[in-house]
Amino acid sequence: MDEATGNPANRAGQAVREGIGMAATGRVGPGKDDEDGQVYSFNVVFAHGTFDEDGRIVSMAVDQLEVATPNYSGASMPQFSGFPGQGGYSLWDDNTGKVVGYTEDSEDNYMQEIAAWTSKRARGEDYQLTSGSWREQMDAYQNMMVGMTVDEVETWFGRYFSAENGRPLTENSSSDADRARWEAFSDDDRARAADIVSGATMSLRDAHGDILTAIRRAWEDAQKGE
């Protein structure tokens, strides 16, 4: 990493290695239903990276599967009621805005739920964030990482992203610790942080998924063939 500019010192060369990484995280949430029933979810991040002879990222492709219990309010969210014989799970209805009973406790429903799972990238425009879709923001991050090593990606994350929520730092960061870090930034640091936010604002490591660990594991996998 070029300390003066914050950019990769050398752009990546020809891809000579590739690897795949995965990181799975569970979550108590997001939120509860109208009957105070807890929503549970899990996220599985997949990363495929190609790397040059110096370990610099030539390309990075990330996708993510998020699955929640069916009492979550969101029609496009993949759902999982549990295994057959457990009695089903509270079922949310978007039209009425409340829980309307339980999911069917059957092997057919079990198979149908899993068959309907769709990744965040495949959900496309249905998965909107505060600015653009998940797919668009992930594409922006992937492009920013080209030319960096995975160590440099983690250093970049540690400098310009919140340790509390994994999002890029801004002058409007919510926590006292993040605002203090922003205040300590030089003008160059603030310009680099603004460049990040212009492309993406979502978290790279929080309860929604650990993207950085999946990328690290892709690099570890790429080295196994050496």
Report the pLDDT averaged over residues 197-203.
95
Q: In this model, does residue 74 exceed pLDDT 50?
A: yes
CB 43 within 8 A of CB 14: no
* DSSP code string of the chain: --TTTSS-SS------EEEEEEEEEEEEEEEE-TT-PEEEEEEEEEEEEEE-TTS-EEEEEEEEEEEE-TTSS-TTS-B---STTS---EEEETTTTEEEEE---SHHHHHHHHHT---HHHHGGGSB-SSSBHHHHHHHHHHHHTT--HHHHHHHHHHHB-TTT-PBP-TT-SSHHHHHHHHH--HHHHHHHHHHHHH--S-SEETTEEHHHHHHHHHHHHGGG-
User: How is the chain split into domains, by residue range?
Assistant: 17-225
Closest CA to 222 of 69, 90, 57: 57
- Per the document, the length of the chain is 226
Task: Identify the bridge partners of residue 64 per DSSP, sorted by sequence position.
Answer: 45
Task: Give the C-alpha separation, 30 to 74, whole Å.
Answer: 11
Three-state DSSP class for 221? helix
Higher pLDDT, 82 or 4: 82
Q: In this model, does residue 174 exceed pLDDT 90?
A: no
CB 51 within 8 A of CB 57: yes
Q: What is the CA radius of gyration of the chain?
A: 20
Report the pLDDT averaged over residues 184-198.
95
The per-residue pLDDT of the chain, averaged, comes to 92
Q: In this model, does residue 96 exceed pLDDT 70?
A: yes
Which band of pLDDT confidence, cut at 50, 70 and 90, is reported for residue 11? low
Q: In this model, does residue 57 exceed pLDDT 90?
A: yes
**Residue 134 amino acid letter:** W
- pLDDT, position 226: 66
Which of 11-25, 76-90, 148-162, 194-208 has the lowest average pLDDT? Answer: 11-25
- pLDDT, position 170: 93
* DSSP code string of 97-127: TEEEEE---SHHHHHHHHHT---HHHHGGGS
Q: In this model, does residue 42 exceed pLDDT 80?
A: yes
Q: In this model, does residue 3 exceed pLDDT 80?
A: no
pLDDT tens-digit series, residues 109-166: 999 999 999 999 999 888 888 888 999 999 999 999 999 999 999 999 999 999 999 9
- pLDDT, position 189: 95
Report the pLDDT averaged over residues 45-74.
96
- pLDDT, position 12: 67
Which band of pLDDT confidence, cut at 50, 70 and 90, is reported for residue 9? very low
